[in-house]
């Protein structure tokens, strides 16, 4: 049987999202602690990670599985082993492998060496599909159906991989409008925009943060991906959300403010007190049940 890999948000359809979100709802309320009993999951986080790494570890452990985190420094990569060989070998010892890696597309590339499911937990500037799952799950939890909503994406849309995966998932819904707010040269990559245009359901446009705050249902803010910028690039006019700006919105409960985190200074800390709109910490907390659902899915338990 072919392993169920999680590589790209492009691989999902609404039916699968529904299946995963139902499972996530269930895992929030009850704990089927033995579902992954006897399984061994490897985490290869070869780029920094706080939330994704810990929430996957927590998700495995709540489902009764075992896991191990193999750091880049302690792996044979330091002796010159190729990533393909590493995956081939680890496939023998693990039942699933969760990978974060700086190289775009590497997780999909090494599937041919993997006899067990691989999960893409962020591959360079490319994608971060499980983050997008928890983002959509959070939007649905707060707003019900996504059809017809306006979602503003703010910040470094070029290099932020969570944005790319989120856009792919948003393109599954009917009549979603995506408004982009980005500094020069940090707009959505052309291939991402083309993909959405070809699906024909989603309108994409550009706007300012002020207008987004007045018109969008959700404003999804991201940090500048400093580590991925060309040397010497300085981002001028990077959008920053303050309580003063937020007070320009027309409703006290809209737009919802989301962020994949880590937040640096693009959302001022005073915004955190806006209980109805600042939902980024609730969003992060949904990482565990959604990743439990993803694990249950790849292990064919749902």
Binding site for ligand NCD (CB under 6 A): 51-52, 122, 128, 131, 160-162, 222-223, 260-261
Closer Cβ to ligand NCD, 52 or 171, answer by number: 52
Q: How far is the CB of 38 from ligand NCD (least distance, A)?
A: 28
Residue 41 annotated among the catalytic residues of the structure: no
Least CB distance from residue 194 to ligand NCD, whole Å? 22
Counted residue by residue, the chain has a size of 302
> Among 26, 51, 58, 72, which one carries the catalytic annotation?
51
CB atoms within 10 A of CB 7: 19
Catalytic-residue membership of 51: yes
252 is catalytic: no
Residue tagged active-site, from 100, 101, 158, 223: 100
For residues 107 and 38, give the distance between their C-alpha atoms in angstroms, rounded to a whole number: 25
Nearer to ligand NCD by Cβ, of 52 and 120: the residue is 52
Structure tokens at 55: 């929430």
Q: Which residue is nearest to ligand NCD (CB)?
A: 260
Q: Say how far apart CA 78 and CA 101 lie, in whole Å.
A: 15
Question: Minimal distance in Å, beta carbon 175 to ligand NCD?
Answer: 28
Shortest distance (Å) from residue 288 CB to ligand NCD: 13
Q: How far is the CB of 131 from ligand NCD (least distance, A)?
A: 5
The verdict on whether 164 is a catalytic residue reads: no
CB 103, CB 111: distance < 8 Å: no
Q: Which residue, 19 or 228, has its beta carbon nearer to ligand NCD?
A: 228
Choose, from 5, 39, 41, 52, the residue flagged as catalytic: 52
Whichever of 91 and 286 has its CB closer to ligand NCD, that residue is: 286
**E strands present in the chain:** 40-45, 66-69, 96-101, 118-123, 150-154, 177-181, 203-206, 218-221, 256-258
Q: Which two tokens stand for residue 260?
A: 């994949």
Q: Is 100 a catalytic residue?
A: yes
Burial call 24-62: b when 16+ CB within 10 Å, e when fewer = bebbbeeeeeebbeebebbbbbbbebebbbebbbebbeb
Residue 151 tokens read as 């979602």
User: Which is nearer to ligand NCD, 47 or 66 (by Cβ)?
Assistant: 47
- Catalytic positions: 51-52, 79, 100, 128
């Amino acid at each position: 049987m072919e392993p169920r890999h999680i590589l790209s948000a492009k691989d999902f359809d609404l039916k699968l999202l529904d299946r995963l979100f139902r499972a996530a709802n269930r895992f929030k309320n009850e704990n089927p602690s033995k579902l992954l009993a006897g399984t061994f999951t490897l985490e290869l986080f070869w780029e920094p990670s706080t939330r994704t790494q810990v929430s996957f570890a927590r998700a495995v452990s709540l489902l009764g599985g075992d896991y191990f985190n193999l750091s880049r420094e302690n792996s044979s990569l330091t002796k010159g082993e190729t990533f393909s060989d590493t995956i081939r070998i680890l496939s023998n010892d693990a039942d699933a492998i969760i990978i974060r890696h700086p190289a775009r597309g590497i997780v999909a590339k090494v599937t041919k060496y993997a006899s067990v499911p691989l999960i893409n937990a962020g591959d360079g500037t490319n994608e971060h599909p499980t983050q997008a799952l928890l983002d959509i799950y959070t939007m649905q939890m707060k707003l019900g159906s996504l059809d017809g909503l306006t979602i503003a994406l703010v910040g470094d849309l070029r290099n932020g991989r969570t944005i790319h995966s989120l856009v792919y998932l948003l393109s599954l819904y009917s009549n979603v409008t995506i408004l982009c707010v980005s500094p020069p040269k940090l707009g959505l990559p052309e291939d991402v925009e083309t993909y959405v245009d070809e699906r024909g359901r989603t309108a994409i446009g550009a706007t300012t943060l002020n207008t987004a705050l007045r018109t969008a249902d959700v404003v999804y803010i991201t940090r500048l991906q400093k580590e991925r910028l060309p040397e010497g690039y300085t981002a001028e006019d990077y959008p920053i959300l303050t309580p003063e700006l937020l007070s320009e919105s027309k409703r006290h409960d809209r737009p919802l403010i989301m962020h994949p985190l880590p937040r640096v200074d693009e959302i001022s800390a005073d915004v955190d007190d806006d209980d109805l709109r600042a939902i980024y910490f609730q969003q992060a907390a949904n990482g565990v049940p959604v990743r439990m659902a993803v694990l249950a899915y790849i292990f064919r338990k749902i």
